[in-house]
Amino acid sequence: MPTSSASNHSSHPEDLIGRLNSAHTPYEVKLKALRDLKNQIIGNRTKKLAFLKLGAVNSVVSILSSAVVAGGWENREFYELVLVQCAAIIGSFACGLEEGVNAVLDAGAFPLLLNLITHINDKVADAGARSLKLIYQSKRAPEYDFLQEKNMEFLLSLLNSKNENVSGLGANIITHSCQTTLEQNTLSEAGVIERLVGLLRGSLIQRDASLESLASMIYGNPEVASKFLSPENGRALSVVVELIKDKQPRTRMLACMCLIYLRNASTSYLQDSEIKNKLVMILLELLDDPGQVGDEAPFVLSSLISQKEDMQKIAYDADVVDKLCENLNIFSFQPTRLQGTFLALADLCSKLECCRDRVIHLKVFKFVTEALAHDNPHVRSAACYFLRNVSRSVKNLSAGQFMNEAVAAPLVQLLFDSNESVQIAALGAISNVVVDFTAHKSLFMQFGGVKQLVQLSKSMESAIRINAVWALKNLAFLVNNKCKEEILLELTISTLSSLISDPEASVQEQALALVRNLVDGTLNSIDYVFGENGLLLHAIGKQLWSTSKVEVLIQGMYTLSNVASGNELHKEAVMDQLFPKTINDKETVLVMFMQSADSRLRTAAVWALVNLTFPSSPGACGRVTKLQNAGIVCQLKNIVNDPCLDVKLRARTALGQLIMFGDAS
C-alpha cells in the first residue's frame, strides 16, 4: 500500500488537528497542516470558533513549544518556518476574538511568543511581535509591570528595535498597561517619551503606536504633558499637530487624541480657536468612517467636549449633534459605535440647552428605548448616561418629555440588571428623570420602581446605595402625601434611620435630604419623623452632634428647619435635638454651625432659628430665652453683615424676632 504524500491529506478540521496532534506525523507534514490551518482561519470567525472547539490552539502551542526548545535541529531554516507559522496562527486566533485570546493565554502561548521577539532571525522576531500585538488589542492581555527594572530595560530594548513590529509592540505594551500616575511618571523618568517621539518620524505602524502610547502616558498627568512639550523633545508638538492632517484616518484620530489629552492635562496649551475648530472638524469627518476609526472617534470626541462648554458650543455650531443622531440610525447594529455615540451626545447635552432641544427635535428617544434594552451592557450604560444629561432640561422635564411608559418601563427593568455598572447608570438617569414636576411620577411607581429602589438602598455596594437613596430623594421632591406615604411604607422608618447612620457620609447626606423632602409641606408630612417613637428625629439629632461632614450637617439642619416650621409639638421636638438632656443646657451645635466657614451651613442654621422663634408661636418666648442663654444673640449679631446675602437676610430676620421678646443684649 503506497504512502500518502502531504498534498493528499484532507483539509477537514478534524483531520488537520489529528495530524498536528499525532506523534507519528512527520514535521514536514505538520508544517503543511499548519499552513492549511492558517489559510482556513485568517479573517474567518466561523472557522476560528470551529477550530477552537477542536483544541487547535493547544495543538499549535504544543508544536511551538517543541520548536522553541529544539534549537539544535540540523535543518535550521525548516525549524524557523515552523516558528513563523505557529506565531501567525496564534495571532490570527487572537485577532478580534476574545474566545481566541482566552484560549491563547490559557495554552501558555504568551511567554513563548515573548521569547520569539529576541530571535536572531528577523522573520521569526517579526512574526512573534505581530502575534503579540494582536493579543495586546484585547483587555485580557497580561499587564506589564514597568516598576521592575529588568522589565523596563526589556521595554526600552523593544522601543529601540529597528524592526517596526517589535518597536510598535513596545508602544502597544505601554498603551495597554500604563494605567496609574506612578506608571506614567516611571516611564517618563526612564526616557520613554524621547523614544516614542523618535518613533513619530518612523513607519505608519510605529507612528500610530507611538501616538497611542504617548496619549496613555499624558492622560491626566500635567507633569508628563509638560515634559513632552519641553525643548528637549524638539518639535514634538508640531509633529503631532501636522499629523492631524495625515492621509491615514487612524493617524489623524490618534493625533487628535494626543492633542486633546495634552490640552486636558495642561490648560495653558492648545487654547487658540483655530486648533479647537480643527479638532472638532476632523473628528466630525472621522465619525463617518465605516471601520474601527469610526467606532473610536465618538469616544475621542467625548474627551474633547466633556465638561467644556466652549467646546460643546463649537461642536453644536458644526452640526455635530445632527451627525451623531444621524449615525444612531446608520450604525445602530454596531455596539461599540452605539455606545460612543450616546456618550458623545450625553456630553454635548451636559451643559447646553440648545443641544438638549436639538436631540429632542431629532426624535432620538426611539433609539434610546432600544438601547436601554440592548444586549451589550456598555450600550445600556451609555443610553442611561445620555438620558441623565438630556433630562437636565427643566422645561422639557416639567413638560413630561422623559417620564412616559417607553422610558419608565425599561429604566425600571435596568434596576434589576446583573451588571452593577448598568444599575448605577440607570439610577443616575432615574434620579434626574423622577424630578419631573408633573403627575408622571406615579407612572414610575406603577412599574415597581420604588420597591426596587428600596432594595438597592440596602446593597452592600456603597455606590449603588448612594444612587438609590438619591433617586428616592428626588422622587419625594414636591410630591403629594399619598406618594410620600407609598415611599415610606416601602422603605420603612427603621431602614431610613439606618441609612441616616450609614458608614458612608454620602449615603447619610442623601438619606437626610430624602427626609427633608418627605417633611416638606403639610403638618401631616412633618409627622413622619415622629413615627416609631421619633426614631428618625433621634437619628437626625445624633448625626448633628457626631459628624463633621459639612454636607451631612447642612441636610440635617434643613430637615430640622422644615420640622420647626410646624406646630408647637414639632418646634419643641427640634429644640430637644438642639439642646439634648445629655449636654449642658447652655450648649448647642447651633453656635458652631453659625460660625462655620461654609455659608450653606450658616444659612441652614439661621433658617431653623427663624422657624423656632416665629413671634405668633405660643411657646416662642420660652425657646427664645433658652437660645439667648446659649449665646445665640451674640452669634446672630456677628453675622448680620455676613458676606453671604442669604445668611445676612435670615440673620436679621431671626435677630428681629428675638429682640421682640426683649433682652437681646
d(CA 369, CA 629): 61
Task: Please compute the mean of the pLDDT values over residues 187-208 and round it to a whole number.
Answer: 94
Q: How confident is the model at residue 25 (pLDDT cuts 50, 70, 90)?
A: confident
pLDDT of residue 295: 95
Residue 548, CB half-sphere, CA atoms under 13 Å: how many?
0
Per-residue model confidence (pLDDT) at position 91: 93
List the helix and strand counts (H, then E) for the chain: 42, 0
Most confident of 265-269, 588-592, 600-604: 600-604
* 185 contact partners, CB below 8 Å, separation of at least 6: 221, 223, 224
Least confident of 313-317, 498-502, 510-514, 620-624: 620-624
pLDDT > 90: percent of the chain: 69
Rounded average pLDDT over 313-321: 96
Whether 128 has a pLDDT exceeding 50, the answer reads yes
Residue 323 cell numbers, joined = 451627525
Domains in the chain: boundaries: 3-142
pLDDT at 599: 96
Query: 377-390 vs 335-348: helix axis angle to the nearest 10?
Result: 20
Give the span between the Cα atoms of 403 and 365, in whole angstroms.
12
C-alpha 323 chain-centroid distance: 24
What homologous superfamily is domain 3-142 in, according to CATH?
Leucine-rich Repeat Variant (1.25.10.10)
More confident residue, 617 or 585: 617
